[in-house]
Amino acid sequence: MCIFCQIASGELPSYKVYEDEKTLAFLDITPVSPGHTLVVTKTHYQDLENIPEMELVNLIKVVKKVSQLLKDKLGFNGYNVTNNNGVLAGQTIPHLHFHIIPRHAGDGHGPWQHGQYQPGEAEEIIKKITS
Ligand code: 5GP
Ligand code: ZN
């Protein structure tokens, strides 16, 4: 059983933020900022590709609810919701999860590095996507 399945089943402890029949939200053990929370389904799905749509709908509804709860209780103004799919993208636990990361002015967490398309590159990419 994966580590988040063990947390979801109560076999491993966690600081629970929210729980319902299908979903658990708990504090990340190595927070990017205080209150950094992970939201998971109690059923094991590896990533976005593997979760049935209706389960994902439930999960994202909980992400919204928990984000609001954290914002109300902890008093921050902004937050990032992120989800890593695959080892290359930084997924270290192979059980789909959304991160809710509270943000504070001057917290030093930089934005994504933005690049630029070379001439013709965007056209090539959109052709691949839409053909
Ligand atoms: P990922 O890199 O897969 O998107 O995120 C995994 C997250 O799980 C990391 O931020 C890491 O700190 C957190 N994590 C790993 N093991 C545990 C654990 O045993 N308990 C809790 N609460 N969080 C964990
Ligand atoms: Zn799992």
* pLDDT at residue 2, rounded to an integer: 98
Yes or no: say if 41 and 83 are a contact pair by the CB < 8 Å rule.
no
In the sheet where 78-82 sits, what is the strand order? Answer: 16-19, 23-27, 37-41, 97-103, 78-82
Q: Whose CA is nearest to atom 13 of ligand 1?
A: 28
pLDDT of residue 29: 98
Residue range 3-38, pLDDT digits in tens: 999 999 999 999 999 999 999 999 999 999 999 999
Task: For residues 126 and 131, give the distance between their C-alpha atoms in angstroms, rounded to a whole number.
Answer: 8
pLDDT digits (tens, 9 = 90+) for 42-91: 999 999 999 999 999 999 999 999 999 999 999 998 999 999 999 999 99
- 111 pLDDT above the threshold of 90: no
Mutate to test the pocket of ligand 1, among 93, 95, 98, 101 (most ligand atoms within 8 A of CB): 93
Q: What is the pLDDT of residue 110?
A: 84
